Structure 1
Amino acid sequence: MIQVTNLSKHFGEQTLFENISFTLNRGNKIGLVGRNGSGKSTLFKILLGEEEADSGEVFIPKNYTIGTLRQHLHFTHKTVREECASALHGDEAFNVYIIEKMLFGLGFSHEDLDKDPLSFSGGYQIRLNLVKLLATNPSMLLLDEPTNYLDIVSMRWLKQFLKEFKGELILITHDRDFMDAVTTHTMGLRRKSLLLIEGNSSKYYAKLEEDDERYLKTKANLDKKRAELEDFITRQKAKASKAVMAQSKAKQLEKMGEMDDLEEESSLSFAFNYKKTPAKIILDAQNIGFGYDAKKPLFQNLSFKLEKGKCLAIIGKNGKGKSTLLNVLAGELPLQQGNIAFHPETAIAHFGQTNIQRLNLKHTIIDEIYEVDPLLGITKVRSICGGMMFSGKSAEKEISVLSGGERSRVMLGKIIATPANLLFLDEPTNHLDMYSIDALTQAIQSFEGSTILVTHSEMMLKNLADALIIFHHDKAEFFDGGYEAFLEKIGWEEESDAPSKKVAQSDYNESKKLRTKLIQERSAKLSPLKKEIEKCEAKIMQLEETIKTKNETLIQIASGNDLGELQRLSKELKSDEETLNGLYEQFESLHVKHDELFESYEMQLKNI
């Protein structure tokens, strides 16, 4: 159990949170939500002892371990398997099976296990850190956006792992579906205070709305009473007969106090600019293909049609060609095979990582929105900026000073300003918070045109996708149906090819039993050997002391005339030295036997 009491943290004049308290009980898995900058990551650092609170206390029980995913990368072993296995300790040091299972779940292949950790991309190196963290089996996990570097298959594996994790968990993620699937409670930082409820994020936000509504009603009633009292005092204080009553009402007014206005929280809010089209089929792709290596195309012979108003989602593991396919369809990359036909009145708006890099760093946000259509007018441009949470002076910031998330919102603003009936969206949720993702999902749902979407968000897929292009089984395949239908009828190959959970658990239990048996057997055989070694060592030490004493006596006798005693003592010393040599040989023989037996069991344990 972790107890946090009256915790406060300020940075200069900014207050992140004040006098917050909560208790983390055994088995609690908490989703931590809040606007960007509300203090979520700072709270994590305080729990880890990396940051000091201004006031308050954090009680963590003795021997209670907290694990967190580190972004810094430091590898000391030559292979992925060895690097991750280095996190295991004690009897678990031989449990490489579990390490390999985690690595496979996070997208590593059998061949990858013997590769150098430094040969992988930064995203995959973060995954290695995640495996090393999970392997330590801490009492509690603190995970800040653990899905950032994961594809959809790895996210599904991690989701299941965290659901089965026996310890406590506090999770920060922008993926509401992932959070709600894993957690038992939701906790939020809002307006410098904290609310913890049992249940998912939907229940949490419903509670916030209910509390705000109650607060506003109470404030309205209080403001009404204040106004009535003020009016009475103003009217009656001049009349002598009413003066005493007016003074009484004035005192009553002083005691009432005032309720502050609720602090407004900005949210992403927008609608895409639909351009009318008579088309029923927006896009028709026939036998298309592309590859950076002619001998190994990323996709080929792919055919599909996209109807007006439909959403096509492109899904699959990282590095398989999802963004490449989107860029080929959008005309960013040349088509190498087949044919793509657009309706003559198709108008495209494209959101992709390459587009974000094309933002002019010297432009202001207003300049970038104006660039789409100079005839928009400042009122419309300002409205779009406000919808992207750049109101007032903030819309006049230069692109060069914006964060990655802010630049993504500028790019979304440009897409909104573009009249279109076909949207190309490549991971549009990157850098967006949970509220903004909800707003984006609603905007796509309301859009009258068509959408082609690349995303790892299962929530968006379930809500938006009418059809899919799936990168699996080393090819790209069109599926005429939604994401849930795909899971039901086909499913991910990594999950369908894997042994059943019961079989995997059974294998694990059997291997654990065999390890336990071997460890017990090893202990039974090594224990008497250790005792013999200890007894032999004690005899050697005792005899060495005896020989030392007799040698000292012999030196004293040699200076006298007692030849008989001299001969007797010399014989004893010779006998003692022969016995000592025998003990040395016995000691060495026992040690060799012990080490050979230990090595034999080490090899057996490693092979399980």
Structure 2
Amino acid sequence: MPSIAAEVTKTARNVDTVVVDYATGYIRHLENNIGPQHDLTAEASFIASLLVGAGVEKPAAQQLYDHMLKEFTVLQKEAINEAGASAQSQIIDQQALMSAVNHASNRQASVLNNNIFGVADLDHVGGRKVESRVDKKKLEKAEKKIAAKMAARAAKDAAQVQYEASKLVTETQDSKDYDEFFLTVNPLDLGMAGAGKTKDIKIDNFDLHVGMGQRILSDTSLTLSYGRRYGLVGQNGIGKSTLLRALSRRELPVPKHITILHVEQEITGDETSAIQSVLDADVWRKHLLKEQHTAVTRIAEIEAQRKTLTEQGLDDNSAEIRELDDEQVDLETNLEEVETKLVDIESDKAESRAAAILSGLGFSQATQGNPTNSFSGGWRMRLALARALFCKPDLLLLDEPSNMLDVPSITYLANYLQTYPSTVLVVSHDRAFLNEVATDIIYQHSERLDYYRNANFDAFYATKEERYKNAIREYENQMAYRQHLQAFIDKFRYNAAKSSEAQSRIKKLEKLPILELPEEDKAVEFRFSEPEKISPPILQMQGVTFGYNPERLLLKDVDLDIQMDSRIALVGANGCGKTTLLKLLTDQLSPVDGSISKHPRLRVGYFAQHHVDGMDLNLTPTAWLAKINPGKSEEEYRRHLGSFGITGSIGLQKLALLSGGQKSRVAFASLCVSYPHILILDEPSNHLDTAGLDALADGLKNFKGGILMVSHDVDMINRVCNQIWVSEKGTVSKFDGTIKDYKKYILSHASESGVVQQH
């Protein structure tokens, strides 16, 4: 059983060292001096409440509290037994011990709650005096540091309320609220007031928490050089989106003259047209145009009033006409300033620029005039992205933008961002997208940010592995050196002839920087079950025609042949019928004309783009597998889930509690439990982090059956598929080339049509 002090160190690994040192020192003193007179509940509550105040989460503190109380009870009982016959009357029998533990457990919650937002009192815990030999000055210093951090965190929460709407283009607010919030975070005169000031961002030594609990970043610095494009990468759940939100809400001290836009959620639909919605996103332009219209209208009214007064016989020196003249001079001066600002922001080019952005993101000229409430969620996300690109903020924040786009739109966006004049910070796991867009990579892990300058994703990935190996070597070398010094110290500490040398080595040991063993990314592996062999033909479409409306056919005369060795990627713009084709192959829809033939023993595994909709989120992964494919033991289901990275306690949690990436892994496990011959996958890479994407690509490459995949992830397609089929203009045809050739084809056609333009 590890010592109590060791458990405290483990639980409080992210807490300030001065607090940990004090807590462990206090416990070691107590372990050596515990007696019948000690109030165990008070002792354990004191340590737990101190650590909660320093940042330890309540569940961890509760677990530590129970452990301390149990161990203290054992030590106290031993102390009583050693006291001999004279202390026998104080021996606590087993029933009394259990009663004490239960009483303490019931009392603990209120004790912790009473102390959690304050600082624990060393002298008074549980209503009595506590004997202590600790350094009170050291504790007082620790308490002040804790109190300062808690106050700063409370201030951040207050700021969050003030800037709640600075999500800007993404918050579900009406247009009036959006304008007010835009101007709150990005005031109208910001661009003019910030002229000449640097737009680099450097925020030093900050912590970032989720609410008042989990720490995302600790004593970290964020540096963003103006005009650079940063890819923010890291494992699922590490806090990348939290960092973007903190920047967008100005919870972190971004210089006030720097404008920010964050694309996170879809916009709210109304009767505003798509193109007008994009134009209205630039609140500066909108307000300047309003001021221009108001001034021009008022000047016309003044001239009409002046003419009327002149006709009535009043001369230019009359009070009425002088008052009108003064007002007109002020209006014309203001109008000149407004028009100068409109020229500076190239307002006259706004409509053509908005139309080009919308076109690149898949909006036809006709649909650009449709009201925003006529678009589905995915298209509203594109509108949110278009609005942000149109505004051209100094800092553009994008959270997994490729998840909402098809391959043509991703290709357009990557090309657009390559010439974007300001700073971009994008969270993405799409390697191909980051390779094209990112000039630098920021790797978020272990509550810190590591910078990889002048690196796209591939360069980062190679360098990260080398950094990890170097860090391991440095750690191992220092550990060996520490052991060497410690061995000398232990041997000669009390040797008079060697005491000075021992003291010298002690000082060397104290000055060594504290290195931690580098954390290795968790290895993930997807193992798709091997199907039995069946002879062709396996799955064929012949002359298939389909339309939800007979007058508007979505697919016409489609021929497609899938074999056991097929590796087919189906690409094309959103809305062209890719998902519909998959549903025809999986019998969710029936063709209007043509035929679909299947091998009589064929088993198909289908991964739906919105696979979560088909899950019972109140069940655990094992229970859900048993529900959809009964007949196996719980151990078999758990072993099968383990082959997709759902291991240990994760398989026993409700699906509702799992992350998006974990739900995807459960979905992959479910489609393979029946040993399918063909995998039909609709956007399988969404929600997976880098490790999950690697595991998926490797697993699919090793799969012994056929694959038909709809995906926007160019890297995934490139690694898995050897055939590209394109859905466009109502039909599906094989593309002669690779996915990279298809991207070149898209860009060449977009350039010919004038869609891709420079800024």
One-letter amino acid matched to 1:93: S
Note if 1:435 corresponds to 2:629.
no
Q: Which residue of 1 aligns with 2:261?
A: 67
* Superimposed CA distance per residue, residues 48-96 of structure 1 (whole angstroms, 9 cap, x where no aligned partner): 34435xxxxx452x63322222526357773223332234521333321
Q: List alignment gaps of at least 5 residues for structure 2.
A: 1-199, 286-341
Displacement, 1:161? Answer: 0.9
The DSSP-based 3-state class of the residue aligned with 2:418 is helix
Q: Which residue of 1 aligns with 2:444?
A: 189
Note if 1:24 corresponds to 2:224.
yes
Q: Which residue of 2 aligns with 1:93?
A: 347
Displacement, 1:400? Answer: 3.8
Q: Which residue of 1 aligns with 2:724?
A: 468
Note if 1:202 corresponds to 2:401.
no
In structure 1, how many angstroms separate the alpha carbons of the residues matched to 2:270 and 2:600? 58
One-letter amino acid matched to 2:217: F
Distance 1:307 1:103, change over 3 A: same
The DSSP-based 3-state class of the residue aligned with 1:86 is helix
Note if 1:2 corresponds to 2:257.
no
- Please, which moves more after superposition, 286-295 or 78-87? 78-87
In structure 2, how many angstroms separate the alpha carbons of the residues matched to 1:368 and 1:77? 42
Q: Which residue of 1 aligns with 2:662?
A: 406
One-letter amino acid matched to 1:395: G
Q: How does 1:550-589 map to 2 (within 5 A)?
A: none
8 A contact 2:493–2:503 mirrored in 1: no
In structure 2, how many angstroms separate the alpha carbons of the residues matched to 1:355 and 1:70? 21
Q: Which residue of 1 aligns with 2:68?
A: none
Distance 1:194 1:260, change over 3 A: same
In structure 2, how many angstroms separate the alpha carbons of the residues matched to 1:244 and 1:50? 56
8 A contact 1:3–1:24 mirrored in 2: yes
* Superimposed CA distance per residue, residues 343-390 of structure 1 (whole angstroms, 9 cap, x where no aligned partner): 445332111146543323342112233456667655553344345443
Q: Which residue of 1 aligns with 2:579?
A: 323
* Superimposed CA distance per residue, residues 162-191 of structure 1 (whole angstroms, 9 cap, x where no aligned partner): 111111111112212112201111111111
8 A contact 2:232–2:425 mirrored in 1: yes
Displacement, 1:115? Answer: 2.1
In structure 1, how many angstroms separate the alpha carbons of the residues matched to 2:497 and 2:631? 65
Q: Which residue of 2 aligns with 1:586?
A: none
Displacement, 1:474? Answer: 3.1
In structure 2, how many angstroms separate the alpha carbons of the residues matched to 1:306 and 1:100? 40
Q: Which residue of 2 aligns with 1:78?
A: 272
Q: Which residue of 2 aligns with 1:382?
A: 638
User: Greater strand percent: which structure?
Assistant: 1
Note if 1:336 corresponds to 2:530.
no
The DSSP-based 3-state class of the residue aligned with 1:118 is helix
In structure 2, how many angstroms separate the alpha carbons of the residues matched to 1:100 and 1:190? 40
One-letter amino acid matched to 2:427: I
In structure 2, how many angstroms separate the alpha carbons of the residues matched to 1:498 and 1:455? 25
Pick from 228, 240, 243: which aligns with 1:43?
A: 243
Distance 1:355 1:108, change over 3 A: closer
Distance 1:387 1:230, change over 3 A: farther
- Please, which moves more after superposition, 245-254 or 89-98? 245-254
Q: Which residue of 2 aligns with 1:131?
A: 386
Q: How does 1:294-333 map to 2 (within 5 A)?
A: 294-333=550-589
In structure 1, how many angstroms separate the alpha carbons of the residues matched to 2:416 and 2:528? 38
Distance 1:139 1:276, change over 3 A: same
In structure 2, how many angstroms separate the alpha carbons of the residues matched to 1:182 and 1:238? 59
The DSSP-based 3-state class of the residue aligned with 1:287 is strand
Tell me which structure has the larger Cα radius of gyration: 1
Displacement, 1:204? Answer: 1.7
In structure 1, how many angstroms separate the alpha carbons of the residues matched to 2:637 and 2:665? 14
One-letter amino acid matched to 2:277: E
The DSSP-based 3-state class of the residue aligned with 2:460 is helix
8 A contact 1:77–1:83 mirrored in 2: no
8 A contact 1:282–1:450 mirrored in 2: no
8 A contact 2:539–2:599 mirrored in 1: yes
Displacement, 1:451? Answer: 0.3
**TM-score, normalised with respect to structure 1:** 0.73
Distance 1:184 1:486, change over 3 A: closer
* Superimposed CA distance per residue, residues 547-601 of structure 1 (whole angstroms, 9 cap, x where no aligned partner): xxxxxxxxxxxxxxxxxxxxxxxxxxxxxxxxxxxxxxxxxxxxxxxxxxxxxxx
In structure 1, how many angstroms separate the alpha carbons of the residues matched to 2:390 and 2:617? 43
In structure 2, how many angstroms separate the alpha carbons of the residues matched to 1:37 and 1:217? 28
Displacement, 1:47? Answer: 2.5
Distance 1:349 1:114, change over 3 A: closer
8 A contact 2:359–2:755 mirrored in 1: no
Q: Which residue of 1 aligns with 2:704?
A: 448
Distance 1:496 1:229, change over 3 A: closer
One-letter amino acid matched to 2:209: H
Pairwise CA RMSD of aligned residues? 3.4
* Superimposed CA distance per residue, residues 313-345 of structure 1 (whole angstroms, 9 cap, x where no aligned partner): 121111221111111112232243323333445
The DSSP-based 3-state class of the residue aligned with 2:528 is coil
One-letter amino acid matched to 1:83: S
One-letter amino acid matched to 1:208: K
Q: Which residue of 2 aligns with 1:212?
A: 468
Q: List alignment gaps of at least 5 residues for structure 1.
A: 53-57, 509-608
- Please, which moves more after superposition, 92-101 or 491-500? 491-500
In structure 2, how many angstroms separate the alpha carbons of the residues matched to 1:245 and 1:6? 39
Distance 1:253 1:332, change over 3 A: farther
In structure 1, how many angstroms separate the alpha carbons of the residues matched to 2:558 and 2:352? 39
8 A contact 2:493–2:499 mirrored in 1: no
Q: Which residue of 2 aligns with 1:394?
A: 650
The DSSP-based 3-state class of the residue aligned with 1:276 is coil
Distance 1:500 1:260, change over 3 A: closer
Q: How does 1:137-536 map to 2 (within 5 A)?
A: 137-198=392-453, 199-224=455-480, 251=506, 255=510, 259-266=515-522, 268-279=524-535, 281-353=537-609, 356-371=612-627, 378=634, 380-479=636-735, 481-487=737-743, 491=746, 495=750, 498-499=753-754
The DSSP-based 3-state class of the residue aligned with 2:619 is coil
One-letter amino acid matched to 1:475: T
In structure 1, how many angstroms separate the alpha carbons of the residues matched to 2:591 and 2:571? 20
8 A contact 1:352–1:426 mirrored in 2: yes
8 A contact 1:32–1:40 mirrored in 2: yes
Displacement, 1:155? Answer: 1.5
In structure 1, how many angstroms separate the alpha carbons of the residues matched to 2:493 and 2:367? 89
8 A contact 1:364–1:399 mirrored in 2: yes
Identity of aligned residues (%): 27
- Please, which moves more after superposition, 244-253 or 117-126? 244-253
One-letter amino acid matched to 1:326: L
Distance 1:265 1:77, change over 3 A: same
Displacement, 1:20? Answer: 1.7
The DSSP-based 3-state class of the residue aligned with 1:147 is helix
The DSSP-based 3-state class of the residue aligned with 1:361 is coil
In structure 2, how many angstroms separate the alpha carbons of the residues matched to 1:241 and 1:383? 62
The DSSP-based 3-state class of the residue aligned with 1:164 is coil
In structure 2, how many angstroms separate the alpha carbons of the residues matched to 1:500 and 1:74? 26
8 A contact 2:262–2:397 mirrored in 1: yes
8 A contact 2:261–2:388 mirrored in 1: yes
Displacement, 1:415? Answer: 2.6
